[in-house]
Amino acid sequence: MPLNAPHPRLQAFGFAVRDARESCGMSIEALAEAAGLSARMVIGIEHGKRNPSLLTILALAQGLGVAPGRLLESATPRREPGT
């Protein structure tokens, strides 16, 4: 992985945030306001360049009106049965 490449899990989380935001018809600015974050922070998260804290994840979920687990599902590695 190149030095500046986003971590795959952060990228997956960012895609989940963007998908949820677009499904709600929200702009980046609207989500930032609803979550109490800056638009720049939301952009960084959506692009997988920021590693959000638990409080930020909870704020994003609340701003989007979704369960935090929905955003985290895609960033969580799948366990193979029997492992």
pTM metric for this prediction:
0.87
| pLDDT score recorded for residue 77 | 75
User: In angstroms, how far is CA 48 from the centroid of its own chain?
Assistant: 8
User: In angstroms, how far is CA 9 from the centroid of its own chain?
Assistant: 10
8-72 fold: 434 Repressor (Amino-terminal Domain) (1.10.260)
* Domain residue ranges of the chain, discontinuous segments joined by +: 8-72
> How do residues 1-26 score in pLDDT, each as one tens digit?
566 788 999 999 999 999 999 999 99
What is the Cα–Cα distance from 14 to 43, expressed in whole angstroms?
9
The single-letter DSSP state of residue 78 is P
> How do residues 44-54 score in pLDDT, each as one tens digit?
999 999 999 99
Residue range 16-43: mean pLDDT, rounded: 98
Of 24, 17, 61, 25, which is closest to residue 42 (Cα–Cα)?
A: 17
The yes-or-no verdict on residue 56 having pLDDT over 60 is yes
What is the Cα–Cα distance from 72 to 82, expressed in whole angstroms?
23
63 burial via Cβ count (<10 Å: 0-12, 13-18, 19+):
buried
Please report where in the chains the tokens 């952009």 appear, as a residue: 43
